[in-house]
Homo-oligomer: A and B are copies of this chain.
Amino acid sequence: MNMKLGVLGTGIVGTTIGTKLVQLGHEVMMGSRTQNNAKAATWVQASGPRASQGTFADAARFGETLFNCTNGAASVDALNLAGAANLSGKVLLDIANPLDFSKGMPPTLSVCNTDSLGEQIRRAFPNVKVVKTLNTMSCKIMVNPSLLPGEHDVFVSGNDRAAKAKVIEILKGWFGWKSVIDLGDITAARGTEQVLALWVRLMGTLGTANFNFKIVK
């Protein structure tokens, strides 16, 4: 079914997710700080009539379901610009990671251990149905898991069961995921965000971002 979707963020994650959603036949508005962001404009031009751009507030208002693809360090700010009223009641797939590059490479996390970005977003916007997902892999794999051989896993966590069920539908039905592991409530975002420290090391060791975690049991 054709849906109206909002993608917050114009980086590689936002454009990759946005492009996939347009290809699936949905109407997608990409949101950024300004109405005429150049990267969003390039994406709209490449993506055809179902793609549009606007401010974070425009995209949040437009989308029935929202994708947080902003830089994790800027996510709460971006959502504040989107506006609590425009976000209220909606499912937000939170794909961002709170990576802090200010101390050099490899990045550290700006929040971890006893808190997470997913939890920060939920506290700041209690009426948003935040589901943390897809943040443990490169964006190419997010929307095309068959790039890698065999089965491998994507995680979801969040406090709203219906929202998680909807996200699992998106992951399986739209993006082609076969194995989705529900880790429980949003505090499990600590686990999937902290895994980035291992992910970054693996990228260096393997010489590629095209890999993913599989839980063997």
Chain A interface (Cβ < 8 Å from any Cβ of B):
103, 108-109, 112-114, 148-150, 152, 155, 157, 181-184, 188, 190-192, 194-195, 197-202, 204-206, 208, 210-217
Partner of A215, one of B103, B109, B181, B206: B206
Query: Contact at A215–B202, with CB atoms within 8 Å?
Result: yes
Q: How far is the CA of A213 from the CA of B211 in the complex (A)?
A: 12
Question: In the complex, what residues of B have CB within 8 A of residue A148's CB?
Answer: 216-217
Query: Contact at B217–A214, with CB atoms within 8 Å?
Result: no
Q: A109-B113, A112-B194 are in contact. List 15 more A-B contacts (CB 8 A).
A: A103-B114, A108-B114, A113-B113, A113-B197, A148-B216, A181-B202, A183-B205, A184-B205, A191-B198, A192-B198, A194-B198, A195-B197, A212-B215, A212-B217, A214-B216
The binding surface of chain A is classed by DSSP as: mixed
Query: Contact at B190–A197, with CB atoms within 8 Å?
Result: yes
Query: Contact at B195–A198, with CB atoms within 8 Å?
Result: yes
Copy total for this chain: 2
Q: How far is the CA of A199 from the CA of B198 in the complex (A)?
A: 13
Q: How far is the CA of A115 from the CA of B195 in the complex (A)?
A: 15
Q: How far is the CA of A182 from the CA of B201 in the complex (A)?
A: 10
Partner of A112, one of B112, B199, B201, B211: B112
Closest CB pairs A-B (n = 8): A191-B198, A211-B217, A191-B197, A194-B194, A152-B216, A214-B214, A183-B201, A191-B201
Q: Counting chain B CB atoms within 10 Å of each CB, which of A148, A191, A195 scores highest?
A: A191
Q: How far is the CA of A155 from the CA of B204 in the complex (A)?
A: 14
Question: In the complex, what residues of B have CB within 8 A of residue A216's CB?
Answer: 148-150, 152, 211-214
Question: In the complex, what residues of B have CB within 8 A of residue A195's CB?
Answer: 194-195, 197-198
